[in-house]
C-alpha cells in the first residue's frame, strides 16, 4: 500500500515514541487539570508500549485487516489506561479527556509524522494539510471518544451503585454516553464518505 519498508516504518515509530516520552519526562512536573504529567503517565506505563506496538502492527500488515486489529489494540490500551486512572487514582472526567488527547498526540502524531516525513518523500499527497489534518482529527477524536466513553461508563456505574442515587447526575451521564457513541458513529460515517470521494 505504501512505498516505504516495514523496517523504516517501525524504526520511525519507535524514534517518535522515544522523543515524545522524553519530552513528557522533561515536562513531568507540568500540571494539567490539577495533576502533573507524571501522575498521568506513570500509572499507565504498561499500556503505552501496547499502544505503540499496535500502531506498528497496523503498518506491518502481516495478515488481512491488520489495521483493524491494531486499531482495536490501541483503543484497548486507551480504555485500560482510563480504567486504571479512574479506579486507582481518582481521576475526574477532565483528566480522562486529557488522557485521550495525550494518546492522540502519541498515536496519531506518530502516524501522521510517519506519513509526512517518510511517505511524503515518495508521494507529495501525504504532505498536504487536507490529508494529514483529516487523518489526525479523525484518529484523535476516536481516541478522545474512547477515553470519554469509558470514563462516563465508570462514573455511571459508580453513581448507580451508591445508595443515594442522584437521578440528575445519572441522567447526564447516560446522555453523555449516548452523545459520545452518536458522535463516534457520525464521525466514522463522515470519514468513510470522505475516503470514498478522495479515492
- Asked whether the predicted pLDDT for residue 188 surpasses 90, the reply is no
| pTM (2 d.p.) | 0.87
Q: Residue 123: which region, alpha, beta or left (left: phi > 0; alpha: psi -120 to 50)?
A: beta
- Residue 51 has what pLDDT? 94
Summarised one tens digit per residue, pLDDT across range 55-90 is 988 887 666 777 888 888 999 999 999 999 998 999
Nearest-5° Cα angle at 147, 143 to 150: 135
- Residue 163 has what pLDDT? 60
Summarised one tens digit per residue, pLDDT across range 34-61 is 999 999 999 999 999 999 999 988 887 6
Lowest mean pLDDT across 57-66, 81-90, 94-103, 141-150 = 57-66
Amino acid at each position: 500500500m505504501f512505498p516505504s519498508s516495514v523496517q523504516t516504518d517501525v524504526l520511525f515509530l519507535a524514534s517518535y515514541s522515544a522523543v515524545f516520552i522524553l519530552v513528557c519526562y522533561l515536562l513531568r512536573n507540568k500540571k494539567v487539570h490539577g495533576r502533573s504529567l507524571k501522575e498521568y503517565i506513570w500509572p499507565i506505563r504498561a499500556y503505552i508500549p501496547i499502544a505503540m506496538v499496535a500502531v506498528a502492527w497496523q503498518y506491518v500488515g502481516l495478515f488481512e485487516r491488520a489495521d483493524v486489529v491494531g486499531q482495536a489494540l490501541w483503543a484497548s490500551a486507551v480504555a485500560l489506561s482510563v480504567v486504571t486512572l479512574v479506579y486507582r487514582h481518582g481521576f475526574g472526567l477532565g483528566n480522562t479527556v486529557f488522557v485521550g488527547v495525550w494518546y492522540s498526540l502519541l498515536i496519531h502524531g506518530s502516524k501522521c509524522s510517519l506519513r509526512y516525513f517518510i511517505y511524503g518523500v515518495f508521494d507529495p499527497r501525504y504532505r498536504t494539510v487536507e490529508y494529514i489534518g483529516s487523518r489526525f482529527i479523525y484518529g484523535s477524536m476516536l481516541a478522545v471518544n474512547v477515553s470519554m466513553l469509558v470514563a462516563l461508563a465508570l462514573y455511571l456505574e459508580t453513581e448507580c451503585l451508591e445508595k443515594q442515587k442522584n437521578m440528575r447526575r445519572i441522567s447526564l451521564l447516560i446522555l453523555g454516553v449516548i452523545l459520545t457513541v452518536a458522535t463516534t458513529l457520525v464521525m466514522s460515517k463522515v470519514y468513510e464518505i470522505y475516503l470514498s470521494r478522495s479515492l
